[in-house]
Amino acid sequence: MPNDAAAWRQQSNEDAFVELAHRVGGLGVEIADLGGIVADLSAIGTQQAKSAGAARTAAEGMTRQATALGTSMQAVRTSASDTRTILGRSAGEVSGVVERTASTMQDLSDSSAGFLDALGAVDQTLGKVRSASAAIETVARETKLLALNASVEAARAGEKGRGFAVIAVSVKELADQVQRFAAENTANLASLTATLQELLQSSERNAAAARQATDDAAAAGEASRTLHQLVDQVGTLVDGIDQMTAPVEQSIKAFAGVGAELNELLASVDSAQELLADAKARSDSILEISEDCMRYVARSGIETADSPLIALAQQTAARIASAFEAALDARRIGLRDLFDETYRPIPGTNPQQFMAGFVGLTDALLPDIQEPVLAADRRIAFCAAVDRNGFLPTHNRKYSQPQTADPVWNAANCRNRRMFNDRTGLKAGRNTEPFLLQTYRRDMGGGQFALMKDCSAPITVRGRHWGGLRIAFKV
């Protein structure tokens, strides 16, 4: 009877431990979920902080730009106002000069036209003189001829014609004088005509220049009017700048107000981030305690729902270690490549995939070991080995699909050659205890998560810790 009581108490204690393990496991799952939610909130807060910081920076930048714009506008206004004053003064001076110049050019043009007219009249008079001189020369020639005839007739008359011969000689001398005068007059007229032609040509050039100057003066008058219009336009610009000044000043004040509000928001976000970080640290601490409790129960020897999976993880890890040892013995791989931690990114992959010196070996060896474990229990979500840094070279076949253009689909279906260096992945890869039980939220991509337990066992090759075998199962 006492033996029966002792057995009952022992069974009761075992049942209590099993129930405790079950509840601790459930607590761990809830804490993992809570920690994940806190992490999500922290990520959201971080993003909000970045957005608020970017907005603040933008507001500060716009404030600086608006201030600079206001300063520039003031400088432009001052410059435009000064320009308007100078242009107004210059326009007045130019207008006076243009008017005086136009009047002078018009007088000059009129004077040139009158001088041309006078020269034309002189030229006409000289023409008449030339005609008269020609007539005189003709008369002189005819007079000489008459004198010659008279001399001949006086010679024929003899003594009777002697007095007529004297008259004929006098007439001839007079004709010679007249002819010489006509010749000199013709020469003088030729010289005077040439000079007059030069004066005419020069006067015509002067008249043309005077007309051009008059036209230029008219154009200058038009330019002067344009200058007055420019003065008016500059005045309009100054008025427009004056009208824009008030909105710019309002913008500066508004941006400054936005910056102050964003500073308050950032302070609030920072405070919330600190609280979330503290909450995450506390939830992680509680999760660690929960996982320690699960590990203590499992080590007590009491059979729980996790016990078969713990044993399976240990057995599978041992098989992988033996396979690696055999590959080293057969020289299929060297120690350097087996423990290679130089992860080379695979171009064009999203999420990022990597290669390492042992990927070819794990692709050849691990599927035959991992796939049967995946099929052994329907609770198992995956069975995969990771190295000490959380690098997963060879996943289960259903999670080793070729990547597509959709990163969300890739995150859920292309999980081989990926780096899982989160808390759970690193602890599983670096754990050297006989086994490790963890609870976590598995990221399935696209904001989707699955609550999981992770049972891992270390993989040791020739006394050197390579990584761990992970069995994740649904809770």
What is the rounded average pLDDT of the residues 158-168? Answer: 68
Over residues 86-120, the pLDDT tens digits come to 656 665 655 665 566 656 656 656 665 665 566 56
353, with CB counted inside 10 A (0-12, 13-18, 19+), is buried
pLDDT of 472 above 90: yes
The per-residue pLDDT for 191 is: 73
Q: What is the model's pLDDT at position 343?
A: 98
Q: Name residue, tokens 């154009």.
A: 219
The reported pLDDT for the residue numbered 77 is: 62
pTM of the predicted protein model: 0.51
Calculate mean pLDDT across residues 112-141. 65
Q: What structural domains does the chain harbor?
A: 1-118+203-304 (1.10.287.950), 306-475 (3.30.450.20)
Per-residue pLDDT band for 182 (boundaries 50, 70, 90) equals low
Q: Copy the structure tokens of residue 127.
A: 């023409």
pLDDT in tens, 293-350: 555 555 555 677 788 999 999 999 999 999 999 999 999 999 999 999 999 999 999 9
Residue in 134, 142, 138, 141 with CA at minimum distance from that of residue 190: 134
Look at 2 and 203; give whichever has higher pLDDT: 203
Tens digits of per-residue pLDDT, 17-51? Answer: 555 555 555 555 555 555 556 656 666 667 766 76
